[in-house]
Amino acid sequence: MAEKRKYKKRYCKYCEAKVDFMDYKDAGALRFSLSERYKIMPRRLTGNCKRHQDMIAVVIKRARAAALVPYTVTRKAVVTAPFENLK
């Protein structure tokens, strides 16, 4: 047995939810694809399909420009569950 994989199931959560359009104002929908430092998670970790990953990248960048999602997080302010206070 090699080391345990951190992300075991690989399926596109957005395909499962049948997402055709993403709104940059809906920050809660982006939470699957942002790391705890608000970086965009790579597709190889999230299992998102190419189509949705491209949508997400655009939407997250829009959300950043609109200051809904931070660009950077300082070392002290790293949150373990960034979207807990949403909703």
Residues making contact with Zn ion (CB under 5 A): 12, 14-15, 49, 52
Say how far apart CA 60 and CA 55 lie, in whole Å. 9
Residue 39: how many other CB atoms lie within 10 Å: 13
Question: Please, what is the minimum distance in Å from the beta carbon of residue 49 to Zn ion?
Answer: 4
CB-nearer residue toward Zn ion: 24 or 52: 52
CB of 7 to Zn ion, least distance (A): 16
What spatial distance separates the first Cα and last Cα of the chain, rounded to whole Å? 40
Residue 22 or 69: the one with the smaller Cβ distance to Zn ion is 22
